[in-house]
Structure 1
Amino acid sequence: MNRDYSYLINTLSKWNFDLSEEKINQLDKYYELLIEKNKVMNLTAITDFDEVIVKHFADSLSICTVLPEDVKTVCDLGTGAGFPGIPMAIAYPNLKFTLIDSLNKRIKFLQEVVDTLGLKNVELVHARAEEAGRNKIFRESFDLVVSRAVANISTLSEYCLPLVRLEGYFISFKSGDITEEINQSGSAITKLGGKLKKPILFTLPETDISRSFLIINKIKSTPKVYPRKAGTPSKEPLK
């Protein structure tokens, strides 16, 4: 392996988290598969190695700073090219991950990744968020649901909170100023059975990239009417 992972290793060390050489090798193979497949299908606009390390790998693994201790099952909803789910599954082999995406082409790519890396703790599901949230197998079954998907927090909460078990968590990866978004989403989160904790704001080390975690605790069961039918949560966010 000729690529330099010192930034990722040093960054994780600052967060009191270490990756073994084996796990670094798995991430490196994932990078190779991502770049190769990206030549024939649109997985990510970020392909430069150094940028992938910062904006995909370090960003995904920054969750180590806020991961609840009692988590055993994790769902990555709208996983796309596998972020944050695949880096998390590599870093936490003792946790069980379910990665859900609406595009079957991406699921097939991720299956190749899972098989090549030998990840035994990952299940891949092809489904829309609204379908997953109404599926009895998945509904209110996960200790933690994560998402790096680009959508407002009201919409994301309607997608994700139905999947979270009572007393579990939904953690949304966010960037930029989220003050207004938080102010507009409070009642929606409450309707869905969640309680928003104080946002965690941080900057990725050695960059000017500001990030934040919105952590929502599931304190009540989500009413059966949510999520609403396909397309509605994004077109008409709850208020």
Structure 2
Amino acid sequence: MSNIETLIEGLGDLGIELSVKQKEHFIKYKDLLKEWNEKINITAITDDIEIDIKHFLDSLTPIITKLFEGKKKIIDIGTGGGFPGLPLKIFNNELQVTLLDSLNKRIIFLNEVIKALELKNIDAIHGRAEEFGRTPKYREQYDICISRAVASLDTLSEYSLPFVKVGGYFISMKGSEVDEELKEAEKGIKLLGGKILKKEIVRIPNSDIIHSLIIIHKIQETPTKYPRGGGKPKKNPL
């Protein structure tokens, strides 16, 4: 059975305490992550302490924004092994969560985790953000879209902002060097109905890793022509 001491300790630094059930959930999640990772490539991070720091603690740092309290509806774009959406759901069970990833094998893994933890109001779906963002069922339906995906902010904003309802937020989890990206993305974000609210610098507890949370407020509807299909957001960012 996995050890989550580093996670417990790190959350203590943020003034957060986990319940017995939450601890059990994180242990089970980590066990499944390591077990499945031997069969399919979900993450390059397999060490107990590294998983606690680089996956679990990193995924939980958005809690400091206070935007994840209560019954919010959130979507996690390019979720991979479930980060940050699944740890946020374990932390606040009231969240209604959609995990979206373009690799079906990851979705199969995530469904296993959801089943093992008996979580409700959480869906793992296989698909591409530029297609789902144009679908009425998903378009402008979420209080928060969050992403830890590696695309540049201008590309990511076109994938993400269409999911957010007016008044909601898109949160992009980035490294520490993000000012250049912010500058390049500003025009596109405005075009998509967003406004950069702030850049929150966070240090992941128990590490010297510094990350940024880019918080974008959705102030008007996204024009219907976005997101563009055919890989355009990546090839030719706004």
TM range (shorter): over 0.9
Q: Report 1:58-207 matches (<5 A).
A: 58-68=57-67, 69=69, 72-207=72-207
Aligned residue identity for 1:200: E
Tell me the amino acid that sits aligned with residue 45 of structure 1. A
Deviation per CA, 1:98-152: give whole Å up to 9, x if none.
1111111111111111001111121121110111100110000000010000011
Change (3 A) 1:133 1:29: same
Give the Å deviation of 1:16.
Answer: 2.7
> Which letter does structure 2 place at the counterpart of 1:38?
N
Structure 1 residues 27 and 89: CA distance shift in structure 2, 3 A: same
Residue 139 of structure 1 aligns to a residue in which SS? coil
Structure 1 residue identity aligned to 2:179: T
d(CA) in 1 for partners of 2:120, 2:153: 31
CA–CA distance in 1 between the matches of 2:143 and 2:11? 24
Change (3 A) 1:71 1:180: farther
Instruction: Give the distance between the partners of 1:42 and 1:70, measured in 2 at CA.
Output: 34
Say if 2:220 is the partner of 1:220: yes
Q: Cα offset for 1:15? A: 2.0
The aligned counterpart of 1:49 is: 48
Does the CA-based 8 Å contact 1:195-1:218 persist in structure 2? yes
Output the CA distance in 2 between the equivalents of 1:129 and 1:151: 12
Counterpart-to-counterpart distance in 1, 2:216 and 2:124? 24
Give unmatched runs, 5+ long, in structure 2.
none
Root-mean-square deviation (CA, aligned residues, Å) is 1.3
* Aligned match of 1:22: 21
Match of 1:208 in 2: 208
Aligned 8 A contact 1:75 1:98 in 2: yes
| TM-score between the two structures when normalised by the length of structure 1 | 0.95
Q: Please identify runs of 4+ aligned residues in structure 1 that moved more than 6 A.
A: none
Counterpart secondary structure, 1:119 = coil
How many equivalent residue pairs? 237
User: Deviation of residue 14 (structure 1)?
Assistant: 2.6
- What SS is found at the alignment partner of 1:19? coil
Secondary structure (helix, strand or coil) at the match of 1:202 reads: strand
Q: CA deviation at 1:2?
A: 6.0
The answer as to whether partners of 1:71 and 1:144 remain within 8 angstroms in 2 is no
Q: Does 1:232 align with 2:232?
A: yes
Cα distance between partner residues in 2 of 1:104 and 1:2 = 26
How far has the Cα of 1:86 moved from its partner?
1.0
Q: Distance in 2 between matches of 1:2 and 1:229?
A: 42
